[in-house]
A and B are shown apart, each in its own frame.
Chain A
Amino acid sequence: MSASAPAWMGRPGPAVRAAKAVALTVVVALVIFPLWTVLATSLASPQNVIENGGWVIWPEEFSFGAYAEILQGGIITRALLVSAGITLVGTALSLTCTIGLAYTLSRPQVYGGKPMLLLVLFTFLFPPGMVPLFLVVQSAGLVDQYAALILPFLVNVFNLVVMRGFFQSIPQELLDAARMDGAGELAILRKVVLPLSKAVIAVIGLFYAVAYWNRFFEAIIYFNDQTKWPIGTVLRQYVTGGASLAETSGELATASPQSVQMAVVMLATLPIVCVYPFLQRYFAKGVLTGALKA
């Protein structure tokens, strides 16, 4: 390690290095430990959880009872499917619309480019209020429709600006060359621009997917039908809204209520934790830092 360090950095004294190591350990532990106890509690047997006062750090007796309980086809299984569907459909639609608009806005001197850009950027300044947005959703007939969790959030201005910035950074000569070969705008987008933009599309896709997966509040105001709730809204009901799972799903013989609650938290977290490492490497590629500075 010291070999790769530039000489001028020197080697800080042992006190400084120890302080740094402690600080880093604390930071990492503060993030990991809460998630760890949730996982451990969700996997512990009922007796284990009760004896330990409602949570465990290391399960002495493993049990998948909590997961079996909530995945056997009740409200949570349904909510997970709803969230998965909204996330998949929503991310695909959002990416399509964002790429289309971003590409058009990235072309210099496209007809009406400047007014279109201003129209979009102004919305950054004045986001729609909760009540007026509800009126639009209502008058569009989206109440109790899954589309109400997608359409009002279809294009995110920040994501659009990042995408446009990336498209603009693609060398103009490449596009001109394709145009010389007689390729139309659509072909250029598909064969030249998109293959060069995999990293930015992956990152923006992650942003959209996470936003869709995590959305919970809108279902409370847009849905009267609680069986259509996504996982976030159900989770809120059980974990932070004070409702107990035991009351709704009857006798919980195979798992303690705490384990069930923590299993729900785990299931809501898991997809993000699983996708995250695959996309993490793109963060380093400067896709974001360049965009954030813009």
Chain B
Amino acid sequence: MTRVRRGAGGTSPPTEKTQDPPAGGGPRTGRLQRIRADRVLLLLAVPGLLYFLVFHYGALSGNVLAFQDYIPFLGVSGSEWVGLSHFERMFGDPAFWNAVKNTLIIAALQLVFFFPAPLALALLLHSIVGDTLRRFVQSVVYLPHFLSWVIVIALFQQMLGGAGVVNGWLSDLGAGQISIIGNPDAYGPLVVAQLIWKECGWATIIFLAALSQVDEQQYEAAALDGAGWGRRLWHVTLPAIRPVIVLLLVLRLGEFLSIGFEQFFLQRQSVGPETGEVLETFVYFTGFAGGDFGYAAAVGLFKGVIGVVLIYTANKVAHRLGEQGVYKA
């Protein structure tokens, strides 16, 4: 079926509209006509599409490295194929399993401690009655989202490091020193605290949007029935935004392994690979620092594939729950 755009930029003479090719005109002329009619729009899309083709699909095909004994000098075409041997090596590599373990530990800590934090902060923000005050607090808590991980980690060192502000206070009080930065035992809580500091405020946005949708009449009715703020929270607010909470939780589970890279890349050395190595830093240090590109690509591909399966499953679950998934594909 051919469709003629109304006066498509004056590119086609008006007579063409009446002489629309008959149904038997063949799909080829129809397609050419449509491309011609949409040519400005299609040209507008070219730079963006080119980017995705080169840097996403081109890179995707670079995953063949995972099946090669890649030698940079020989390139992809000249390197030897080794089948699944990188994957066999991976499954028997204690350093890989250590990275998996650390990734899972940090992912679990993030889920338990980071996930509820924005909800709590959003409830607090939502309860501020004055508009000016609320906007001020919102501006402040959104700000860290825009700072880079390098800055965030520099700030944490300044505050919590051995010669930092908090230890300065403690020694002024004559109390003992705390060892947080560079202490492997404190690494998990530290990285989660950093994540909360940086992203908690920004993550409130979606909860605040949900909170603003709650039907005010329900509060009114609850208040008339004598419900205090605690009971209104429990019986009105939370049930009303439950779909959003569930959806976000499901999607977060889909990205369970995506704990971030830069934050861990920057701090791995301070605690050593035993505690500090996660899957993505493992890929970096094996590939770029160790020169073992094929093996690093195999580990990266392995993580990528698990990630796709998780995200896909999470979206299916989200749809099953009657919510619209983020990835509409």
Contacts and interface: CB of A to CB of B under 8 A. Distances in A.
B63 A130 contact: no
B81 to A, nearest CB: 16
A20 B124 contact: yes
A129 B297 contact: yes
B65 interface: yes
Contact of B52 (A103, A123, A134, A292): A123
Residue of B124, B150, B216, B297 with most partner-chain A CB within 10 A? B150
Contacts of A210: 146
Nearest to B9: A184
Chain A interface residue count: which class? 35 or more
Given A104-B42, A135-B59, A262-B158, A55 B168 contact: yes
B21 interface: no
B23 interface: no
A151 to B, nearest CB: 7
Contacts of B165: 37, 55, 57
Contacts, number: 283
Residue of B7, B135, B151 with most partner-chain A CB within 10 A? B151
Contacts of B209: 289, 292-293
Nearest to B54: A136
Interface in A196-213: 206, 210, 213
B319 to A, nearest CB: 15
A130 to B, nearest CB: 6
Contacts of B312: 125
A154 B57 CA distance: 14
A170 to B, nearest CB: 15
Interface string A161-192: 00000000000000010011011111001000
A109 B151 contact: no
B51 interface: yes
B283 A27 contact: no
Interface of B: 3, 6-7, 9-10, 31, 34-35, 37-38, 40-42, 44-49, 51-63, 65, 76, 121, 124, 127-131, 135, 137-144, 146-151, 153-159, 163-165, 168, 197, 201, 205-206, 208-209, 216, 219-220, 223-224, 229, 261-262, 265-267, 269, 280, 283-284, 287-288, 293, 296-297, 300-301, 303-304, 307-308, 311-312, 324, 327-329
9 contacts: A5-B129, A37-B158, A37-B165, A111-B35, A120-B48, A121-B327, A131-B293, A216-B262, A293-B206
Given A104-B44, A134-B288, A152-B55, 11 more contacts: A12-B229, A31-B141, A34-B158, A104-B45, A122-B329, A125-B312, A131-B283, A136-B62, A189-B44, A214-B146, A216-B150
